[in-house]
């Protein structure tokens, strides 16, 4: 299976072809969606896209880690991490397609 990365330009081009929007309108729409998602996440809100998945913010507590090179213990500061959890619909679709190959 060839690895390929979908870019903003790919998404905009898909909108251009499927909906007939101009290239500029398509790019603006993609940017608008990502900006809305980013703003919500920065504000501390989770983002759920039905039938696709959820972007969830998780708080990690401070913990002790170890430098693998030296073995010295170092504190890892508390932080917020972003986690993506795929919907069961997306998981089933991926497994169905991969199972047929």
pLDDT tens, residue by residue, 35-88: 999 999 999 999 999 999 999 999 999 999 999 999 999 999 999 999 999 999
Helices in the chain by DSSP H: which ranges? 8-19, 23-42, 88-100
Instruction: Evaluate whether 58 touches 80 at the Cβ level (below 8 Å).
Output: yes
Against a cut of 0.95, is the pTM above it? no
The DSSP bridge partners found for residue 45 are: none
Strand, helix or coil for residue 47: strand
């Amino acid at each position: 299976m060839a690895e390929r990365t979908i870019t903003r330009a790919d998404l905009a081009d898909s909108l251009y072809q499927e909906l007939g929007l101009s290239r500029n309108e398509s790019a603006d729409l993609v940017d608008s969606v990502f900006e809305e998602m980013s703003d919500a996440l920065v504000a501390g809100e989770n983002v759920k896209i039905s039938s696709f998945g959820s972007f969830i913010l998780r708080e990690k507590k401070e913990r002790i880690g170890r430098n693998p090179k030296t073995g010295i213990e170092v504190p890892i500061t508390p932080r917020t991490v972003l986690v993506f959890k795929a919907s069961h619909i997306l998981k089933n679709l991926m497994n169905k397609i991969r199972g047929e190959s």
